[in-house]
């Protein structure tokens, strides 16, 4: 299969439904898989056509040798790549290409694994040594110059952002940087385990502390107000098993800053190798033999459930774009049954909390309120005056 054919093939796959933040996550996945400690994301918009604008993701990971660059990163893999390493995130081996080409027509990889290598895959030339026009921009140049002092690392540049240009009309620039903010929030959630454990640092638009993505635990595991419900273990006939880990999160979560409301964030969180693949809601599940699905509503907006996707059957759960989970048919009934018990336990616990919050009526306060009520009456009779006196004496 020729490299030019690869470019033609990817041109046909430009509508895979990737948002920009999901495409950037595909690049970050590769960085994590290759043992990066730091990831830097830059987005630069310079013109309405997107020709001289670019997106760049840089890491200090292992880098790639010539075989990895030419036969994996910039081509169609011969076989599906199911990465079963603890930090491995490759499932189909297509994410870097299909995710990126949903927004641009040119991908450049500059990588170093002892030896510096540079290649571009674009729709015009296929696989080429030609570098994009933005190669000498100060953001890019700085990181390439850093390779002189490091043995390994990778720079990925997405250029000729034609799809982004088509979608943004007169507000292309502001919307482009709004997407940058969305990406930062997206990374904050999907890589929360890495950020909480200080496994990686992720920076947007710079190298300073202010550019660093802050960590958040969507399950609030260390918060004393969080309530842990009982885990449920499930084994599947087709192989693999998982554990549903439900949490009742604290009432106050206003500082999450994830760009979503509390109702949207309830429900299931599917993870594969510590990385959140899809989250929020009930994934088309509902009570058996009923036509309606469980909806996102305030009643369950404190219930979040962590679910690990079985590694050995990942392809049954994850779409090619690797940003959506579809529960396989053989798992639906078992997960639904477990969720019915979890949701019931949740409601029971929430009701218990509400009962505790209902304090006994304070008799002194009750008397004061009665006095205030009577004093508001401009025409107080002798009986009421006498009662006010009695109430005042009781308060004393």
Per-residue pLDDT tens over the stretch 300-318? 999 999 999 998 888 899 8
252: left (phi over 0), alpha (psi -120 to 50) or beta: beta
pLDDT interval class at 1 (50, 70, 90) = very low
| pLDDT for residue 168 | 54
| pLDDT for residue 8 | 65
Residue 86 has pLDDT above 60, yes or no: no
CA distances for 237 relative to 133, 136, 329, angstroms: 53, 55, 11
pLDDT digits (tens, 9 = 90+) for 127-156: 999 999 899 888 888 888 888 888 999 999
Residue 49 has pLDDT above 90, yes or no: no
Choose among 184, 166, 160: nearest CA to 21: 184
What CA–CA distance (Å, rounded) separates 38 from 42? 13
Residues 6 or more apart in contact with residue 270 via CB below 8 angstroms: 276, 277, 278, 279, 307, 308, 309, 317, 325
pLDDT interval class at 333 (50, 70, 90) = very high
- Architecture per CATH, domain 3-211, reads as 2-Layer Sandwich (3.30)
Residue 290 has pLDDT above 80, yes or no: no
In the sheet with 115-122, reading across from the earlier edge strand, the strands are 126-128, 115-122, 106-113, 152-159, 54-59, 38-44, 201-204
Which pTM does this prediction carry? Answer: 0.83
Least confident of 63-72, 95-104, 165-174, 211-220: 165-174
* H-only helix segments in the chain: 3-11, 20-33, 66-68, 95-101, 138-146, 162-168, 172-190, 192-196, 314-317, 329-357, 363-375, 382-395
Output the DSSP codes for 110-134: EEEESEEEEEEEETTTEEESPPPGG
Residue 93 has pLDDT above 70, yes or no: no
pLDDT digits (tens, 9 = 90+) for 321-331: 778 899 999 99
Q: Give the mean pLDDT of the chain.
A: 85
Domain ranges of the chain: 3-211, 227-357, 363-395
């Amino acid at each position: 299969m020729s490299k030019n054919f690869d470019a033609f093939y990817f041109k046909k796959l430009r509508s895979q439904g990737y948002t920009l933040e999901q495409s950037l996550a595909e690049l970050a996945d590769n960085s994590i898989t290759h043992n990066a400690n730091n990831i830097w994301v830059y987005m630069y918009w310079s013109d309405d056509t997107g020709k001289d604008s670019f997106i760049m993701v840089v890491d200090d990971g292992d880098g790639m040798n010539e075989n990895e660059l030419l036969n994996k990163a910039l081509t169609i893999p011969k076989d599906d790549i199911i990465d079963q390493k603890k930090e491995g995130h490759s499932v189909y081996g297509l994410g870097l290409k299909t995710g990126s080409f949903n927004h641009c027509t040119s991908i450049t990889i500059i990588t170093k694994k002892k030896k510096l290598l540079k290649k571009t895959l674009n729709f015009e030339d296929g696989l080429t040594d030609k570098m994009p026009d933005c190669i000498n921009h100060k953001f890019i140049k700085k990181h390439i110059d850093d390779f002189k002092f490091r043995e390994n690392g990778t720079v990925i540049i997405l250029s000729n952002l034609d799809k982004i240009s088509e979608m943004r009309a007169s507000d292309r620039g502001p919307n482009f940087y709004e997407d940058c903010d969305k990406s930062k929030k997206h990374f904050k959630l999907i890589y929360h385990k890495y950020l909480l454990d200080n496994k990686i640092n992720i920076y947007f638009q710079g190298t300073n502390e202010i550019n660093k993505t802050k960590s958040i635990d969507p399950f609030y595991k260390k918060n004393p107000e969080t309530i842990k419900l009982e885990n449920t273990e499930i084994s599947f006939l087709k192989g693999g098993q998982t554990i549903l880990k439900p949490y009742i999160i604290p009432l106050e979560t206003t500082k999450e800053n994830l760009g979503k409301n509390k109702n949207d964030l309830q429900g299931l969180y599917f993870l594969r190798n510590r990385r959140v693949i899809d989250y929020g809601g009930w994934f088309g599940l509902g009570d058996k033999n009923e036509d309606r699905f469980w909806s996102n509503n305030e009643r369950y907006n404190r219930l979040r459930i962590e679910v690990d996707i079985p590694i050995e059957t990942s392809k049954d759960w994850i779409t090619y774009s690797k940003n959506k989970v579809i529960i396989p048919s053989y798992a639906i009934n078992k997960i639904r049954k477990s969720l019915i018990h979890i949701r019931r336990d949740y409601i029971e616990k929430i009701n218990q909390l509400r009962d505790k919050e209902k304090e006994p009526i304070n008799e002194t306060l009750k008397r004061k309120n009665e006095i205030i009520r009577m004093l508001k009456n401009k025409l107080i009779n002798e009986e009421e005056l006498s009662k006010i006196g009695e109430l005042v004496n009781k308060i004393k």
